[in-house]
Amino acid sequence: MGQLNSFGSIIKTFAQFELGMIVTLSIISEIDDHKLMVIMRGLQYSSKRDTVYSYMELYDVNATIKEYAIMFFNEVHKYYGLRNHIAHSIWIPGKRTDSITPQSINIRGGKGRLINDDEDKHYRDYTSVELIDIQNKLSMMHNSYVLWLRSLGFAKDMD
């Protein structure tokens, strides 16, 4: 299963962006990032993102910082479903050659539904090449994000 390296890289990049959310909130709120790490430790990725976005709506934040942070985080968020499947789903062979697909069950509302079975209209499988492309795209987004923060004089120690 050659996809394991991509899985690890994708999860790692999401963890780096979670730290980036804390750094961003530190910058805009002027609260020490170490304090925010303690405060936000128990929050999952989506809750951290919601916290940063809510803060930017409730308080006066530099418009450029707000615009760029939202742009970066929204772009990364497009892969959040994949990140969750990597972390929580069973992966089985996909319909295409050299592909795999996540399979899980949604039980919300008491109505069990298999995710990615033959009847799922949102079926998605991934080849090794597609996962490597996603891994590379996320890594480049993170590198761009760090460079942007550094251009503002922040995140000198962030990699």
Q: What is the pLDDT of residue 131?
A: 97
Tell me, yes or no, whether 60 lies in a domain.
yes
Q: How far apart are CA 62 and CA 66, in angstroms?
A: 6
Position 158 scores a pLDDT of 65
3-state SS assignment for residue 31: coil
* Residue 73 lies in domain: 4-151
**Predicted local distance difference test score (pLDDT) of residue 68:** 94
Question: pLDDT tens digits, residue range 36-61?
Answer: 999 999 999 999 999 999 999 999 99
The DSSP secondary structure of 56-90, one letter per residue, reads HHHS---HHHHHHHHHHHHHHHTTHHHHHHHHH-E
CA-CA distance, 27 to 130, in Å (whole number)? 35
On whether residue 10 sits in a domain, the answer given is yes
The answer to whether position 25 is within a domain reads yes
Cα–Cα distances (Å) from 121 to 67, 118, 124, in that order, read 34, 8, 9
156 part of a folded domain: no
Q: Say what the pTM is.
A: 0.87
103, 85 Cβ separation under 8 angstroms? no
Distances (CA, A) of 115 to 4, 27, 93, 102, 158: 21, 39, 14, 8, 37
Does residue 159 form part of some domain? no
Number of separate domains in the chain: 1
Dmax over CA atoms of the chain, in Å, equals: 51
Q: Is residue 74 part of a domain?
A: yes
10 Å Cβ neighbour count for 82? 20
158 occurs within a structural domain? no
- 157 within some domain: no
**What is the C-alpha separation between 154 and 14, in angstroms, rounded?**
20
Please, which residues have CB within 8 angstroms of residue 19's CB and are 6 or more apart in sequence?
A: 158
Q: Which residues of the chain are modeled with pLDDT < 50?
A: none
